[in-house]
Amino acid sequence: MWQIEKFCCALASLFPKVLSNGLYLWAIYAFCYELCLRSIGGLTGLILASIGFYLAVQGIYMYYKVVKLGAGSPLDFAELRIDSDYNDLESSRTEPPQFLVDNSLMIKSNGKFRFCDKCKVWKPDRSHHCSSCNRCCLKMDHHCPWFATCVGFKNQKFFVQFLVNTVIFGEYALLISGIELYQFFNNEEYNDEFLSLNLVLLAVLGLTVTVAVGLFTGITLYFLSSNLTTIEYYDYMRYRNNLEIANDSYYRYSKQPSAKDLGNAYNLGSIKANLNAVLGTTWLEWILPIENKGFSDPYENRGLYFPSNPKIRAALVSNSKLQQQLLHELQRSSVSNSADTDRLV
């Protein structure tokens, strides 16, 4: 029974991959061969076909990179794995790695450091558990059924590039096929020859991609320009009361700072800076499906923590100092009251 379920899951994940790549391969045939080389012909047709072929092949490669890389997972890091049971984690008998304590901004709603009891790992900022992939994903944006995988830290850049490339190819195919169809009917060529059904389907596919994928691409770029993931847009982030300690449950009765009050801590202040954080810092990294240059910090460029907005971080640091001061005063008051009680006894 388990083998049958596994086979069905594998088949379900294979279908969208075959469909997506099959559409691209068919588009190469319909656009490059039937439209450009056969219908248009000559040097013009060859040039148009070459541009279309480049866009299509690049799109297929970007698709491959999204699936191959995946989102990345905390499970990839041995230092994030947890041997303790759930009760030890909830009672704070187990502490997260120090580099997470020093750099993380987010916590659970109960004030405890974020962890996944299914994957048995500490969850870095912006990571979430995906029930479809059955694992935690770094900087999870969403689970995309067209790729049968999650979009997150490792593959988000290639996902965005794939969307933009697909829209450009769709618009390009729609434009060239639209011109050819217009000339076919305007010149009454239907009296002498048949119209290829592939050209009509190519125009329909180009229009569909331009509208549907174009709309989704616009939304994705909007999120990207604000350095937001889809999850963060719909579910605001909760920040730590005190950045100096791992357990924020001391402040469970106080109001928890959140993105709703302070704003998005990962909005770096400008659209360019936010885009650079995902697409890279050079124009070649923006337009080509290549890996971004690494950073000097071995963890920052691996999806375990991220650069934050200086103003919001300063507000959180200021709040941490105030909370730490109040905590010390409460502890001194508690010790003093305990001493007074002992003297009375």
Q: Residue 217 falls within a domain, yes or no?
A: yes
Q: Residue 321 falls within a domain, yes or no?
A: no
Q: Residue 24 falls within a domain, yes or no?
A: yes
Q: Are strands 121-122 and 115-116 parallel, antiparallel or unpaired?
A: antiparallel
- Evaluate whether 188 touches 310 at the Cβ level (below 8 Å): no
Q: Residue 191 falls within a domain, yes or no?
A: yes
Q: Residue 108 falls within a domain, yes or no?
A: no
pLDDT at position 322, please? 75
pLDDT at position 193, please? 75
Mean per-residue pLDDT over the chain, rounded: 86
Which residues are designated catalytic? Answer: 144
Q: Residue 84 falls within a domain, yes or no?
A: no
Q: Residue 187 falls within a domain, yes or no?
A: yes
Q: Residue 129 falls within a domain, yes or no?
A: no
290: confidence class by pLDDT, cuts 50, 70, 90: very high
8: confidence class by pLDDT, cuts 50, 70, 90: low
Structure tokens at 129: 């558990």
Cα–Cα distance, 62 to 161 (Å, whole number): 7
Host domain of residue 227: 9-71+142-235+268-306
Kindly report which listed range (139-153, 206-220, 327-341) carries the lowest average pLDDT score: 327-341
Helix (H, G, I), strand (E, B) or coil at 85: coil
**Total domain count, the chain:** 1
Query: 116-120: long-range contacts (C-beta < 8 A, 24 or more apart)?
Result: 116/74, 117/86, 117/89, 119/73, 119/74, 119/75, 120/81, 120/82, 120/83
